[in-house]
């Protein structure tokens, strides 16, 4: 269950161009979080960056009672976060949202991540009991690449694509998935990344009849289900479509449920 | 030392303290119940209800702005009947007042909802008059004195609960609007609803909200809200419930001094789920510090500069 927490920051360090890693001491998050969940952070006291910022949980250390976040500096909130120092308190709510379905029946899995969407997938690979885990990561260019070694250690195979061809295959990560989709016989595809990537992954999964879960992103007011600002359109069982909340009904959805508009 | 009594009576509705959760920022209380004891909150104005379920607007529905936020949720809600069947029983487990906030496209819809809710186990009805009147060229009911008179007097005929009329600040003279609502039978006034605003992403040159415009709330609107509460409370005799950017006990006390008998906390609930309780504690500390034994003694205690 999610809680209002005031936790101590263990460290903040630069991980790649414009991307930071933050390690936070939290027995509650490390022992309760599941892959795909996030924390909602008040980046500073007062009225600057008034709303909380959602950031995915990237890994947990249950023995030591701590967890890692990775965030890209985009605006005021993440800028303030990057300036935090070890020993300072972090005002968070979490763990929030529903995680990925890690049913052991999924023996052969594909993990597809794009940009800042790769972070929850590392946690997923850590926890997944699948026999074959193929990771496909996409980045805009080589400067944004990080955590490759961590992904490699936790996957059967790892391939990367960059849009400008500065590292790995030139093009989109979804091209790599499409290339392998027939030969690999995946039981499940997990995806997190930009909207167009998620739509494409969903199409590929649908076409080949493979189960697929996507982690959606949306601007959030509260992050815990109260304000209805984080809408995502999904299909109900009767075929009608309705808005549900990304924060508390998601952020992970079965790709078949999501109405990609 | 005298006891500090936080209770207030708003047009016959007894609240254990003057802090009410504002409509649309507290759902039906379920989510906040994970973080706070709802028994400690004076009242809850539930998510704006419509006669039939409503889907709401396309996302993005929220944009952060300096010291505030814009929202364009578009009244997504499961409808008044679902509320009565599924949400009232949940809320009634707690000792907190239930205020049903209602919105409609036509006066008939408002009246029908008021009639249905008058037989339900709620404490008061709050009329959200910021909605466009479909029959009158989509000008919001609350934007003109004629509009507010008509909707208030019509709903009054069907409403057998205390009737709170919630004013929109997007008007020229808020006190004229408030006076019209009082004359047409309102039992109390609450204000302010959100201020219409817009935020633009300069890279794409598109508004951030899919709906283009949305309602501004949060600390940014507080001075406007305090001024409006001041003006309205000097104009009407019925109780005034003040809101707009209240995050702390001090913010709330400002509204009470300006003339409010109770306050509502909105946006703060999204950032700090325990905001209502913190605001209440802050009011209590202020009362102790200044020797106020009753909240009503603070109401309208403003000393104007001459
Ligand atoms: C469930 C979820 C998990 C996320 N996980 C991560 C992560 O692990 N690492 C990471 O770097 N980023 C993550 N993001 C994106 C991150 O929340 C935004 O980059 C961040 O909120 C930007 O804040 P800012 O103040 O720096 O930017 P600003 O542009 O100044 O923010 C202004 C407002 O827009 C919102 N906003 C802006 N961009 C986004 C966005 N892409 N998604 C949602 N809200 C946005 C902000 O929250 C804020 O309310 C996640 C988003 C969601 C919804
Ligand atoms: C996300 C959100 C949804 C809202 N929904 C409603 C609503 O359904 N009905 C209503 O009368 N007011 C609604 N409001 C307005 C608030 O109740 C309140 O009047 C306004 O936000 C000002 O108070 P604040 O600055 O404390 O938030 C909403 C506000 C927000 C932020
Ligand atoms: S962000 Fe408030 S309901 Fe999802």
Question: Can you tell me the ipTM of this complex?
Answer: 0.95
**Residue B204 is assigned to a structural domain of this protein:** no
Give pLDDT, residue A49. Answer: 97
The count of residues in chain A is 261
Tens of pLDDT along chain B (306 residues) come to 568 999 999 999 999 999 999 999 999 999 999 999 999 999 999 999 999 999 999 999 999 999 999 999 999 999 999 999 999 999 999 999 999 999 999 999 999 999 999 999 999 999 999 877 667 766 789 999 999 999 999 999 999 999 999 999 999 999 999 999 999 999 999 999 999 999 999 999 999 999 999 999 999 999 999 999 999 999 999 999 999 999 999 999 999 999 999 999 999 999 999 999 999 999 999 999 999 999 999 999 999 999
Q: With respect to CATH, is domain A109-211 assigned 3.40.50.80?
A: yes
Q: How far is the CA of A182 from the centre of ligand 2 (A)?
A: 51
Q: Using an 8 Å CB-CB cutoff, list chain B residues near A243.
A: 55-56, 59, 76
For ligand 2, atom 6, the nearest C-alpha belongs to B24
**Residue B210 is assigned to a structural domain of this protein:** no
> Of A221, A199, A225, A196, nearest to A212 (Cα)?
A199
Between CA A112 and CA A138 the distance in angstroms is 8
In whole angstroms, how far apart are CA A73 and each of A55, A70, A242? 12, 10, 33
Give pLDDT, residue B1. Answer: 52
For ligand 1, atom 33, the nearest C-alpha belongs to B64
Contact B253, B282 (CB under 8 A): yes
Would you kindly state where each structural domain of chain A is located, as residue ranges?
3-96, 109-211
Residue B138 known to be catalytic: no
Tens of pLDDT along chain A (261 residues) come to 899 999 999 999 999 999 999 999 999 999 999 999 999 999 999 999 999 999 999 999 999 999 999 999 999 999 999 999 999 999 999 999 999 999 888 899 999 999 999 999 999 999 999 999 999 999 998 888 999 999 999 999 999 999 989 999 999 999 999 999 989 899 999 999 999 999 999 999 999 999 999 999 999 999 999 999 999 999 998 989 999 999 999 999 999 999 998
Contact A91, A42 (CB under 8 A): yes
Q: Using an 8 Å CB-CB cutoff, list chain A residues near B46.
A: none
Residue of A232, A245, A251 best suited for mutating to test ligand 3, as the one with most atoms within 8 Å of CB: A245
Closest chain B residue to A243, measured at CA: B55
- Ligand 3 neighbour A53 (Cβ under 6 A): no
Cα distance from B267 to chain A (closest Cα, Å)? 9
For ligand 2, atom 12, the nearest C-alpha belongs to B23
Atom of ligand 2 nearest to the CA of B268: 26
In whole angstroms, how far apart are CA A140 and each of A16, A17, A169, B209, B302? 13, 12, 12, 26, 59
Tell me, yes or no, if B201 comes closer than 8 A to chain A by beta carbon. Answer: no
Q: If you write DSSP's letter for every residue of A95-113 in order, what string do you get?
A: EESB-----TT--EEEEEE
Catalytic residue among B111, B131, B159, B280: B131
Q: How far is the CA of A63 from the centre of ligand 1 (A)?
A: 29
Closest ligand to the CA of A44: 1
CB atoms < 10 A from the CB of A83, how many? 13
Residues 6+ apart with CB under 8 A from A221: A51, A227, A229, A230, B61, B62, B69, B71, B270
Q: Using an 8 Å CB-CB cutoff, list chain A residues near B24.
A: 227-228
At B163, which CATH number?
3.20.20.70
Render pLDDT for B148-167 as a digit per residue (tens, 0 to 9).
999 999 999 999 999 999 99
- Ligand 3 neighbour A39 (Cβ under 6 A): no
Closest ligand to the CA of A232: 3
Render pLDDT for B191-238 as a digit per residue (tens, 0 to 9).
999 999 999 999 999 999 999 999 999 999 999 999 999 999 999 999
Using DSSP, state whether B287 is helix, strand or coil: helix
Task: List the structure tokens of B296.
Answer: 């009503």
Between CA A98 and CA B237 the distance in angstroms is 50
Q: Which long-range contacts (CB under 8 A, 24 or more apart) does B290-293 make?
A: B291/B2, B292/B4, B293/B2, B293/B3, B293/B4, B293/B5
Q: Topology of domain A3-96, per CATH?
A: Elongation Factor Tu (Ef-tu); domain 3 (2.40.30)
Residues 6+ apart with CB under 8 A from A178: A204
Per the structure, how many domains does chain B have? 1
Write out the H or E segment, with its range, that includes residue B190: strand B188-191
Please report how many Cα atoms fall inside a 13 Å half-sphere around the Cα of residue B229, on the Cβ side.
35
The count of residues in chain B is 306
| Candidate from B60, B218, B269 with C-beta closest to A50 | B218
Closest chain A residue to B72, measured at CA: A229
How wide is the angle at C-alpha A128 spanned by C-alphas A126 and A132, nearest 5°?
A: 105
| Candidate from A1, A218, A261 with C-beta closest to B34 | A1
Task: Please answer yes or no on whether A2 and B34 come within 8 Å at the CB atom.
Answer: yes
Between CA B227 and CA B232 the distance in angstroms is 9
Closest chain B residue to A77, measured at CA: B64
DSSP B140: B
Give pLDDT, residue A1. Answer: 87
Task: List the structure tokens of A215.
Answer: 């982690």
Give pLDDT, residue A214. Answer: 98
Q: If you write DSSP's letter for every residue of chain A in order, what string do you get?
A: --EEEEEEEEEEEEEETTEEEEEEE-HHHHHH--TT-EEEEE-SSSSTT-S-EEEE--EEETTTTEEEEEEE--SHHHHHHHT--TT-EEEEEEEESB-----TT--EEEEEEEGGGGHHHHHHHHH---SEEEEEEEESSGGG---HHHHHHHSSEEEEEETTSSSSEES-HHHHHHHHHHHH--SEEEEES-HHHHHHHHHHHHHTT-EEEEE-----SSSSSSS--SEEEEE-TTS-EEEEEHHHH-BEEETTTB---
Q: How far is the CA of A53 from the centre of ligand 1 (A)?
A: 6
> Of B187, B239, B192, B198, nearest to B218 (Cα)?
B192
**Residue B161 is assigned to a structural domain of this protein:** yes
Residue of A217, A246, A249 best suited for mutating to test ligand 1, as the one with most atoms within 8 Å of CB: A217
Closest chain A residue to B73, measured at CA: A229
The residue range of the domain holding B165 is 8-56+74-197+217-297
> Of B65, B63, B61, nearest to B74 (Cα)?
B61
Longest CA–CA span in chain B (Å) reads 61
For ligand 1, atom 43, the nearest C-alpha belongs to A219
């Amino acid at each position: 269950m999610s809680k209002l927490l005031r936790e101590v920051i263990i460290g903040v360090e630069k991980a790649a161009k414009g991307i930071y890693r933050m390690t936070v001491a939290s027995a509650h998050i490390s022992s309760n979080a599941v892959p795909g969940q996030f924390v909602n952070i008040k980046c500073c006291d007062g009225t600057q960056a008034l709303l909380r910022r959602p950031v995915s949980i990237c890994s947990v250390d249950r023995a030591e009672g701590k967890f890692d976040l990775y965030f890209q500096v985009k605006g005021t909130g993440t800028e303030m976060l990057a300036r935090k120092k070890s020993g300072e308190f972090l005002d968070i709510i979490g763990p929030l949202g529903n995680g990925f379905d890690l049913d052991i029946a999924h023996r052969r899995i594909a993990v597809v991540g794009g940009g800042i969407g790769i972070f929850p997938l590392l946690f997923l690979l850590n926890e997944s009991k699948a026999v074959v885990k193929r990771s496909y990561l996409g980045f805009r260019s080589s400067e944004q690449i990080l955590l490759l070694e961590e992904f490699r250690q936790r996957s059967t195979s790892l391939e990367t694509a960059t849009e400008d061809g500065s590292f790995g295959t030139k093009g989109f990560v979804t091209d790599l998935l499409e290339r392998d989709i027939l030969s690999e016989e995946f039981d499940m595809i997990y995806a997190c990344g930009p909207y167009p990537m998620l739509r494409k992954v969903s199409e590929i999964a649908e076409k080949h009849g493979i189960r697929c879960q996507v982690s959606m992103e949306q601007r959030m007011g509260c992050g815990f289900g109260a304000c209805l600002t984080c809408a995502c359109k999904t299909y109900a069982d009767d075929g009608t479509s309705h808005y549900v909340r990304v924060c508390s009904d998601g952020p992970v959805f079965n790709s078949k449920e999501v109405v990609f508009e | 030392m005298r006891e500090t009594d936080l209770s207030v009576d708003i047009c016959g509705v007894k609240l254990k303290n003057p802090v009410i959760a504002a409509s649309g920022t507290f759902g039906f209380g379920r989510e906040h119940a994970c973080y706070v004891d709802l028994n400690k909150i004076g009242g809850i104005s539930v998510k704006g209800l419509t006669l039939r379920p409503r889907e709401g607007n396309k996302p993005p529905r929220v944009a952060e702005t300096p010291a505030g936020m814009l929202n364009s949720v578009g009244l997504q809600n499961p409808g008044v009947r679902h509320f009565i069947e599924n949400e009232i029983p949940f809320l009634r487990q707690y000792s907190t007042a239930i205020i049903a906030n209602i919105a409609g496209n036509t006066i008939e819809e408002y009246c029908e909802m008021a009639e249905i809710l008058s037989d339900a186990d709620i404490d008061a009805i709050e009329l959200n008059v910021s909605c466009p009147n479909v029959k009158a060229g989509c000008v919001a009911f609350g934007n003109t004195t004629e509009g507010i008179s008509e909707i208030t007097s019509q709903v009054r005929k069907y409403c057998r609960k205390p009737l709170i009329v919630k004013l929109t600040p997007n008007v020229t003279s808020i006190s004229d609007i408030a006076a019209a609502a009082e004359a047409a039978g309102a039992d109390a006034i609450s204000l302010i609803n959100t201020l219409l605003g817009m935020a633009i992403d300069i890279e794409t040159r598109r508004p951030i909200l899919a709906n283009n415009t949305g309602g501004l709330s949060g600390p940014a609107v507080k001075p406007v809200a305090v001024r409006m509460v001041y003006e309205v409370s000097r104009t009407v005799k019925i109780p005034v419930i003040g809101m707009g950017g209240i995050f702390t006990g001090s913010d709330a006390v400002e509204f009470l001094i300006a003339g409010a008998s109770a306050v509502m906390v909105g946006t703060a609930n999204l950032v700090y789920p325990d905001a209502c309780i913190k605001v209440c504690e802050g009011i209590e500390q202020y009362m102790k510090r200044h020797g106020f034994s009753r909240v009503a003694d603070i109401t309208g205690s403003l000393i104007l500069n001459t």
